[in-house]
Amino acid sequence: MSAAPRLPLPRPGAFWGSYPQRRPGSPPPLAASAWLPVARVLAHRVRAVRNLRDDGIEAARVRLLREGLAPGAVVQALAAVVPVVQRTLGHALFDHQLFAACALLDNRLAEMATGEGKSLAVAVAAAVAALAGVPVHVATANDYLAERDLQAALALFTALGLSAACVAGGDEPSARRAAYACDIVYTSARELAFDWLRDHLQAGPAGLQRHAVALSGDAAPLPLMRGLCMAILDEADAILLDEACVPLVIAQAAPNAARRAFLWQALAIARRLEGADHHPDASGTREQLTDAGREAVRAASAALGGPWQRTRYREEAVATALTALHRCQRDRDYLVRDGRLELLDTLTGRVAAGRAWSRGLQAAVELKEGCTPTPDSETAAQVTYQRFFRGYLRLCGVSGTLVEARAELAAVYGLQVVAVPRRQPSRCVRLPTRLYADAASLWPAVAERAGRLAAAGRPVLVGTDSVADSEALSACLAGAGLAHQVLNARHDAQEAAIVATAGRAGCITVATRMAGRGTDIALDEAARAAGGLHVLACQHNPSARQDRQLWGRAARQGEPGSVEAWVVADAGTPLGRRAGAWLRAWCLRLPQFLSDRREQGLRAQLLLQDEGWERRRG
């Protein structure tokens, strides 16, 4: 079989144009070793890196520019980068990190165990690609991780003669444009997608808006980005799967006072309905009217005119109001701060700056809480992470939890998952799961357990579902006279300081999902000698991948540690001694399995809707 011709590397220029990106419908690039045993090929490249004489960075750069990211050129470049890592960062680049870097440069997803040095592997892969002249975007889960990882790798990039910058929420367009002009850009996936949407909106259908500006004689505004050449995703499953259930929308103001008044009336009617008038839908995220509820809404709105005479319109409005009243919970789904509503990311526990609910739900919750109303708006541009990241000409990523979703990642993004061998065997001790009937019995037991562990010199991390849960546990700990610290969305400004002390002997840290992905808790010597970090998971995570992320805070890089899950059981879960451990585990895993299937279907439906919206846009 003859080899397919190798395309030039994606970068602005004569071949790819000024804004390179993959056209809709075109297939993703195959990995260079797509038809060979992956682990064997990558391991061979690692051995070649170790055995190759270092001819220097400039020689590696010249070969990369000539041959692209061909295996031989990549091996030579990695051999040149290894001593620079040692010299600038002060620590060695291990074989498993080279293995992961090779996988990333081969258009793959690499599953690395937590604590195995994913950030350094990403930095090395980004540096090699940038030496080849490819503009690289390193996408992380949030601004905090983007800034942290850039600062950790900046000395390496500088020594290699590469420019690097970070894009964060709140940056002005001029600062963003300057950052994207660098060889390597660290930012959150959200900022990347929104900046592409801004460029897309400015260009308009087939670039008509920019062409119209040019005809008027005015200078056309420059795009923020240089195209979608290459993206390396840190915590790839969080970005490509978990975050892909919500479309990203750029809205423009569309004041509609009558709509807000209509929602206020809907909220008043919803408050008068009884329990038999409504129930949650199959997803458990929205309320639906029963037949009795529809009749009650019809009767309550009979004297109202205008839109209240349209059956479907009034029923949807009241269902939205019921969702605001019964499904959206303060300190779990949102915070109220300084008279404004701030939504919480259900995956990370952080404030989702700039995010708003759609279909009137945002306004309904604001009315419920008496907050300053957000101006009404309409959609100007939208994209899902699925459609956005499929637009990159080279795409790869790394995470500690990819294997469970490898089929969907291959089907949607054309990406193969390869497991990276551990550097050292895991010393994590997994203790049995305990189930409790309610929160009133759970939190005192957790406080007692944390106190005993802390007295023995163990640092303890307790993971909770929400701000409200973390504060309830904090009250129990305070009542027991136990010193502790709390990491949730109310204390996000102190995140770095809290994480820095969480690994000290006897320290108890209560956290929401903010202490999951990307959180590296360093142990002091006393904590290590006492047995390492103990993770006590009190979370109902919708996916087993998220369970593994929290557990992965303990026993990193061959250190000692232990994990256990103490949770409030759902109704019907067997709690007695006769219920075997396997039965209790199955009762906990079954909801996660069903949730994964439901979320996968939702992502597929959302992608179809997004593609249809883009076709209609022209």
CATH number at residue 535: 3.40.50.300
Mind giving me the DSSP string for 170-237?
T--HHHHHHHHTSSEEEEEHHHHHHHHHHHHHHH-GGGHHHHHHHHHTSPPPPPSS----EEEEETHH
Tell whether 196 is covered by a domain.
yes
Residues 97 and 141 placed together within one structural domain of the fold: yes
- If you average pLDDT over every residue of the chain, what do you get? 86
**What residues make up the domain containing 263?**
255-375
Q: For residue 309, is it within any domain?
A: yes
Say yes or no: 116 and 226 in one domain.
yes
Helices (H), 288-360: 291-300, 311-326
pLDDT of amino acid 4: 45
- Is 302 found in the same domain as 281? yes
Residue 590: CB atoms within 10 A of its CB come to 12
Domain assignment present for 407: yes
Residue 396 lies in a domain: yes
Q: 356-373, pLDDT tens digit by residue?
A: 887 788 889 998 998 877
Q: Quick check: 614 pLDDT over 70?
A: yes
Supply the pLDDT for residue 2. Answer: 41
* pLDDT bucket at 579, cuts 50 / 70 / 90: low
- Enter the tokens of residue 549: 């992320």
271 shares a domain with 232: no
pLDDT score at 580: 56
Q: Which residue has the tokens 């990241």?
A: 389
Q: What is the mean pLDDT of residues 574-583?
A: 54
Mean pLDDT throughout 171-182? 96
- Cβ 518 vs Cβ 493: under 8 Å: no
pLDDT band for 6, please (50, 70, 90 cuts): low
CATH classification at residue 367? 3.90.1440.10
Contact (Cβ atoms closer than 8 angstroms) between residue 169 and residue 189: no
What percent of the chain is predicted at pLDDT more than 70? 89
- What is d(CA 13, CA 272) in angstroms, rounded to the nearest whole number? 64
Final residue of a domain: which of 568, 583, 611? 568
Tokens 């005993």: give the residue. 452
pTM beyond cutoff 0.85: no
With tokens 């990190």, the residue in question is 97
Q: Is the residue at 28 inside a domain? A: no
Q: Give pLDDT tens digits for 48-104.
A: 888 877 678 999 999 999 999 999 999 999 999 999 999 999 988 999 999 999 999
**Element (H or E) spanning 455, and its range?**
helix 439-455
Verify that 411 and 515 share a domain, yes or no. Answer: no
Assess whether 409 and 469 both reside in one domain. no
- What pLDDT does 573 receive? 54
First-residue to last-residue Cα distance in the chain: 40
Q: What pLDDT is recorded for position 611?
A: 81
- Residue 164 confidence class, pLDDT cut points 50, 70, 90: very high
User: Does 451 lie in the same domain as 341?
Assistant: no
- Name 527's Cβ contacts closer than 8 Å, sequence gap at least 6: 457, 458, 459, 503, 504, 505, 506, 507, 533
Q: Are residues 299 and 225 in the same domain?
A: no
Q: pLDDT tens digits, residue range 437-496?
A: 899 999 999 999 999 999 999 999 999 988 899 999 999 999 999 999 999 888 777 887
Provide the pLDDT confidence category of residue 290 given band limits of 50, 70 and 90: very high
Task: Let me know whether 121 and 186 are in one domain.
Answer: yes
**What is the pLDDT, as a whole number, of residue 491?**
78
Tell me the β-bridge partners of 336: 341
Q: Cα(73)–Cα(52) distance, rounded to whole angstroms? A: 12
Q: Does the residue 401 lie in any domain? A: yes
Same domain, 543 and 456: yes
Lowest-confidence pick of 185-189, 243-247, 447-451: 243-247
- In the structure encoding, which two tokens stand for residue 600, read together? 């996968």
Q: Are residues 101 and 78 in the same domain?
A: yes
Residue ending a domain, choose from 308, 342, 375:
375
- Asked whether residue 617 is assigned to any structural domain, the reply reads no
Residues 251-274, buried b or exposed e (16+ Cβ, 10 A)? beeeeeeeebebbebbbebbeebe
Q: Check whether residue 412 and residue 434 sit in a common domain.
A: no
- Overall number of domains in the chain: 3
Percent of the chain clearing pLDDT 90 (strictly above): 49
Give the model confidence (pLDDT) of 499-539 as tens digits.
889 999 999 999 988 877 767 888 999 999 999 999 999 99
Whether 574 is in a domain gets the answer no
pLDDT band at 205 (very low <50, low <70, confident <90, very high): low
